[in-house]
Structure 1
Amino acid sequence: MIAALRPSERLTTLVLAGLLLLIVLARPEGGIPRGATFAGLLVALLLVGRVTGKAGAVLRDFLPILVVLLVFLLLQPLVVAVNVHRWDVALAAADARWFGRLAMAWHGAFGRPAAFTDLVYLAYASFYFLPITVAVQAWRRLGPEGFERVAFRILLGFYLSFLGYFLWPAEGPRVPEALAAAKLGGGAVSQAVRAFLHGAESTTLDAFPSGHTALSVLPALLATRPFPRWAPLLWVWALAVVFATVYIGVHYVVDVAAGLLLAGLTLTLAGPLSGWLARPFTARG
């Protein structure tokens, strides 16, 4: 069964198995339902390759989207149980020392008019659709090998960002919900997005590195050569998401810098790691 898995599927299998091991060792709050969810995803991943027909192939190709989303939503208690340290003080100090003026100018860009702020919030909320859009284009136009190449790199970027949350847990410069309207501004759209994010983003120790930065820049990079007509739009989209992270107060500038480095690290590691995971699996007895 494992021998039939693609490198991206083997990577996801290792991630899910590692999360299950952490649950056993760290015993986080809500560990049983989270472990059951991760185990269910792992079983689904192992079995989906056996589903025949076009529908089964599509399900297999895009099951990782569900895996990434659920893993992110369920990470918080596990991060809390694994690492008691918080890095916000150090990150805020680094921001003030290295990017103080930039952070102030960025956060107050253009005087924060309400209509502009609404657009920035929409850009931030659109984040997940960017890597999905690139993956869908790769699936439609690059063939199985091209799609696997793109999917592996996007998945690796997500999983490395999750690893960062375990190593350097931090909430970022988030504004309390009660003060958000007064401090961050915007109109009805901004308020609606803030309300949605407050309910949907159950993992909040996710500031460093900025996954929004890494997983916006990375898909844009992956799409630039194969989809030159799409590239300008994707880069504008990616830069809008990156801009939003500091503007709406969910990331320090140093988080964004780390996110850019993470995108480069992902591209550096992806080739060797994919090759290693593609090696034939042999059981030794």
Structure 2
Amino acid sequence: MNIPGKFHGISKIWFAVLIYFLIISVLQLIFDPAGILIPELLINRTIYLALFFVLIFFKKHFSAKIFHLLNVAGIYALLTFLYKETATLNTLIFPKIDAQLSLADEALFGFQPALYFSRWCSGCFWSELFFFGYFSYYLMPLIILFLLYKYYPHKIEAFGFVVISSFLVYYVLFILFPAAGPQFYFTYPDNAIDACGVFGHAIQLIQKHGEGPTGAFPSSHVAVSCIMLLWLYAHCRKWIKYFLPVVIILIFSTVYIKAHYVVDVVAGIVTAPLIYWATLRFYKSLLNRMSA
């Protein structure tokens, strides 16, 4: 790729977005044809379409690295809309499986880790540490993008493709394995957790406006974070030491703040290598076809 020059193609990430929309549309046509006209979904697709045409219209003004950065950052920012719509779609095929997931945790541990973890590690230090870990999930892709833009701009699209495609895969899995998570399944006060710091209040604000009873199994927080580590290990190994401790805290934080059952975390860790391999193969296949 000629980084200083102009970029005249279409970012390959849009192919992943298109396939996701097609999969969702097919599932709706099969299981709920009337639901395909849900205003929320139509608005979300219109927003993505608007972003696509804006980027295509202005692409001649950008160098390759800026164009790829704008594509990745723009699509990543809009993922919150697609995540929230899974709350509408996640019982499209099956009922929620929270009862089974909570029973699995109970069978494994003899108690509910999502309920007791925050009680055992109470206090502002532990609360802020784990809320920081959970908050880092939103920052990690952006920090890695910034580093790539500065040091390895030719790798921006590949990283963005793998990460965004992985999110989209998990959004489909949220529909196939619908679960709300402990914070929605259990009742007050068991599902509540106090926040006493900056990160705690930030996460509670995000949850208030961006969370819904969806996305528990598998844990995309855990899975996508592991996928980013796998990508860094393969392409920018020297950065691993900075992100690995944060990801470890993040993994524990998902149970601490009652967002996930332990089995969700295990499922995220187990599926991450497979999703990483599949999205990377898909990207390389598109790269070969578009370069031919």
* TM-score bin (small chain): 0.7 to 0.9
Alpha-carbon distance in 1 for matches of 2:112, 2:38: 41
1:54 to 40, 49, 62: 62
Counterpart of 1:171 in 2: which secondary structure?
A: coil
Deviations 1:30-68 (A, max 9, x none): 812421321331353255234222387242342221332
Q: What is the aligned partner in structure 1 of residue 3 from structure 2?
A: none
- Asked if 1:91 corresponds to 2:101, the answer is yes
Q: 2:87 aligns with which of 73, 76, 79?
A: 76
Residues 63 and 21 of structure 1: CA distance in aligned 2, closer, same or farther (over 3 Å): farther
Cα distance, 1:102–1:19 mapped onto 2, change above 3 Å: closer
Contact 2:94 2:176 in 1 (8 A): no
State the number of aligned residues: 276
Counterpart check, 1:209 vs 2:214: no
1:125-204 equivalences in 2 (<5 Å): 125-144=135-154, 146-174=155-183, 179=189, 184-189=193-198, 192-193=201-202, 195-204=204-213
Residue aligned with 2:231, SS = helix
Identity of aligned residues (%): 18
2:284 paired with 1:247: no
CA deviation after TM superposition for structure 1 residue 137, in Å: 2.1
Structure 2 partner of 1:27 = 34
Conserved? CA contact 2:114–2:262, under 8 Å: no
The amino acid that maps onto 2:44 is T
Q: Does 2:273 align with 1:277?
A: no
Matched, 1:37 2:47: no
Q: Label 1:229 to 1:100 Cα distance change in 2 as closer, same or farther (>3 A).
A: farther
**Pairwise mapping of residues 256-267 of structure 1 onto structure 2 (< 5 A)?**
256-267=265-276
What is the CA–CA distance in structure 2 between the aligned matches of 1:101 and 1:120, rounded to whole Å?
A: 21
What amino acid is the match of 1:59?
L
Report if the CA contact (8 A) 2:87-2:214 is conserved.
yes
Looking at structure 2, the residues matched to 19 and 104 of structure 1 have their Cα atoms a distance apart, in angstroms, of 31
Q: Specify the code of the residue in structure 2 equivalent to 1:158.
A: F
> Once the 2 structures are TM-superposed, how far is the Cα of residue 234 of structure 1 from its aligned partner?
0.6
Query: Cα RMSD (Å) of the superposition?
Result: 3.2
Deviations 1:222-257 (A, max 9, x none): 223544443222111111111100111111111001
Question: How far off is 1:101 after superposition?
Answer: 6.6
For residue 21 of structure 2, what is the aligned residue in structure 1?
Answer: 16
Question: Measured at CA, do residues 220 and 254 of structure 1 come closer, stay the same or move farther in structure 2, by a change above 3 Å?
Answer: same
- Deviation of 1:215 (Å): 1.5
Q: Is the 8 A contact 2:124 2:196 kept in 1?
A: yes
Q: Check 1:248–1:50 CA distance in 2 against 1; reply closer, same or farther (3 A cut).
A: same
Amino acid at match of 1:16: F
| Partner SS for 1:83 | coil
Q: 1:26 to 1:192 in 2, by over 3 A?
A: farther
The separation in 2 between residues aligned to 1:189 and 1:196, in whole angstroms, is: 11
Q: Where do 5+ consecutive residues of structure 1 fail to align?
A: none
Distance 2:73 2:17 in 1: 12
With the length of structure 2 as denominator, give the TM-score of the two structures.
Answer: 0.80
Once the two structures are superposed, the pairs formed by residues 221-240 of structure 1 within 5 Å of their partners are 221-240=230-249
Q: Are the equivalent residues in 2 in contact too, given 1:171–1:207 (CA < 8 A)?
A: yes
Q: CA deviation at 1:274?
A: 1.9
